Structure formats: C-alpha cells, structure tokens
Amino acid sequence: MLRKVDLQNLSLANELYTVQQKSYTIEAELIGFLDIPPLKETFDELLSCQEEFIGYFIDEKLVGAVSYSLEDETVHICRLIVDPAHFRKGIAQKLLAHLQNEGSPERMIVSTGKDNHPAISLYLKNGFKLIRDIEAAPGFYLSLFEKR
C-alpha cells in the first residue's frame, strides 16, 4: 500500500531512516563509493529535509519510499529506496509509477551512480533517457536521467 510519509511522526521517520541506511549501504557497495550523501545524513537532517515522501507499506511496515521535490513543473526524484529484504518485488517500480501518474508531471529528473545497473535499468524501462554523466567526486560518476 502506498501513502504519504509524515516526517513529524517520529516512529515512521525512524523506519524511513532505517530503510534508507540499509538501501544506500547496498548501493554504496554496488557502485564502490561509500560517501553517498544519504548514508552520511543524520536522523535530524532527514527530519529537516524539504522533500515529500511516499512510502510503500506491507502489513503497516514501511519497506520502501520515494522522495521528491517539485520545481517549475519538474519533479526532482531525490531518493528511491527499498529495504533489501524486499528487493525484486516490484516496490521501486510501484513507487516510480505512482510519481509518474500523480499529476502527470511535465518533466522528471533523477540521478544514480553510473554503476548502479539495477536503478539504471529501472529508469530506462520507465522511459527515462540518459542526459549525461557527471563526475560528482574524483573518479565517481553519477548518471543523470530525464523523462518528458
């Protein structure tokens, strides 16, 4: 089930933080870059972020989430996370589809590590186009995707 995540609910925010840490730890290992900003983010920093969160729940437990910001008819996907215990169940796909279908945004932008092949496959499968690769840190590249 999909629903908005209210960061004022500290118990739910803690679940989100835990899923984020698990998910980005796997991504960091996958791409060989341990300095992913969400891994360094504190719980208080998460609480103060200005992003909107949609969570995916199984039996009232948060197992995935997508966060975004909206600017000039463009949805900026900030995070797309799934608890590793629930990988390959279509949760990321459902979260992404929800964003694409809600309000039919004019444009969507997302980035991921250039070596994060599962995420890249997901975005390409959903009609995103690779715009460019950006060197975010020495020797580490992000791939920027766009969908219109």
Query: Residue 40's closest CA among 119, 137, 141?
Result: 137
Q: Is the pLDDT of residue 16 over 90?
A: yes
Predicted confidence at residue 72, as pLDDT, reads: 87
- pLDDT score for 105: 87
Assigned CATH class of 2-147: alpha beta
Model pLDDT for residues 59-101, shown as the tens digit of each residue: 999 999 999 999 988 999 999 999 999 999 999 999 999 999 9
- Domain extent listing, the chain: 2-147
Grade residue 47 by pLDDT with cuts at 50, 70 and 90: very high
pLDDT of 103 over the 80 cut: no
pTM here?
Answer: 0.94
Mean residue pLDDT of the chain comes to: 96
Cα dihedral across residues 56, 13, 37, 85: positive or negative: negative
In sequence order, what are the beta bridge partners of 68?
52, 77
Name residue 58's beta-bridge partners: 61
